Amino acid sequence: MSEEQRPIIIKRKKVIAGGHHGGAWKVAYADFVTAMMAFFLLMWLLGATTEKQRKGIADYFNPTVPVNKVSGGGDGAFGGDSVFTQNTLAKNGTGAGLTVQSSSAEAKGENGVSPESDAETAAADQGADALEELKEKLTGRAGESMVSDLLRRHVITRLTDEGLIVEVFDIPDAPLFTGEAEPTDTLASVVAAVAEVFQLATNEIAIQGHTASVPLAARENPVWSRSSARADVVRQLLLNGNISEGRMQRIAGFADRKPVTTDPLSARNNRIEMILLRDKL
């Protein structure tokens, strides 16, 4: 018998491009996710920054800002025919005024700053140095302290735009006043030492009284009259320390409106501020 011939079977696979086997959609999806992440990051930055910070960021990415600041005022690429021109008024820049002084600038001096401004600045610096020196004398940093260690527990000094502030405050075991406005020996000693330092200057003086809050169960709230009365008592103590009456510029009572602690009932809020005011220029 002849061998049976088997049929030859050919299988052909049909390959379909794309579908779930393709990778193009993954690239598009990754771009979408990246864009959304950048969007939400931008929204978070806009909510977490202040207006001033946002303006600074915007200026950083604005390349025209430094170019416009040297404008000469014309129509050229740099905002003028030349950065040294003075024939055209500047629109939004300094032009050549920084190199060649105008007639009005020459009248003020070589650098465009009037001598009066230099004198005022020098006087302000001298006044600040004088207040700093008085602060050092009072706190004892420049040598032997004029206030004992016991009394220095009640005193804090600081320099502000208003002047030299000497703050005297209560501590639990050593109050400054008894009753409404009766000064203790501790307060009298501290004010006497402060008056001794204030005699070294001629600046005007302001006195501010602050008190702690009273419990809500109290029938009357005496904080306003108490703070004003205590400020006036300190004024009298300074006058007893040979401070001239003419140097007293003002006294004020702030009641319990400006506490220095989170607890408005704290004794630390009972304080007096004696301010050596800066000279008026």
Q: Which CATH class is domain 124-277?
A: alpha beta
Q: With H, G, I as helix, E, B as strand and everything else as coil, classify residue 142.
A: coil
- HEC string of 66-135 equals HHHCCCCCCCCCCCCCCCCCCCCCCCCCCCCCCCCCCHHHHCCCCCCCCHHHHHHHHHHHHHHHHHHHHH
pLDDT for 71 = 46
Show Cβ contacts of residue 83 under 8 Å, excluding neighbours closer than 6 positions.
70, 72, 95, 96
Alpha-carbon distance of 58 to 232, in angstroms, equals 53
pLDDT in tens, 41-72: 888 888 888 888 888 877 777 765 444 444 44
Q: With H, G, I as helix, E, B as strand and everything else as coil, classify residue 211.
A: coil
Contact between 208 and 231 under an 8 Å Cβ cutoff? The reply is yes
pLDDT for 66 = 47
Give the residue ranges of the chain where pLDDT is below 50: 1, 65-73, 83, 86, 89-101, 104, 106, 108, 110, 112, 122, 141-144
pTM for this prediction: 0.54
In 3D space, the residue among 177, 237, 238 whose CA is nearest the CA of residue 211 turns out to be 177
pLDDT for 191 = 92
pLDDT for 21 = 56
Q: Per-domain residue ranges for the chain? A: 124-277
Q: Which two tokens stand for residue 116?
A: 């009066």
